[in-house]
Amino acid sequence: MELVVLSPEKEFFKGQVKSVTVPGASGQFQILNGHAPLISALSEGNVKIVKDDGNIINYSINSGFIEIIDNELAILVQEARIVD
């Protein structure tokens, strides 16, 4: 899957991923290859990205949206910062 994480000012991440876990407005959920098309609001919390090479990146976000269409994911946020 191809993922891009964007804010109005910056592109935080772009690349191939195995999975993404996000803080949905109704609770945390995970996106895997072949996920159905979806648009969802995101609440404050952590976004966990598992890259194709197995490395994990965690971002803390304040809020935003996610769009999934044909294994292409876009996460749009106001702010994001890497969390160890």
Boundaries of every domain in the chain: 2-83
Dihedral through CA 51, CA 53, CA 57, CA 63, nearest 10? 0
| The CATH classification of domain 2-83, taken from the options 2.60.15.10, 3.40.50.970, 3.30.1490.190, 1.10.3720.10 | 2.60.15.10
| pLDDT cut 90: percent of the chain above it | 96
Could you tell me the pTM of the whole model? 0.93
Q: What is the pLDDT of residues 4-23, one digit of tens each?
A: 999 999 999 999 999 999 99
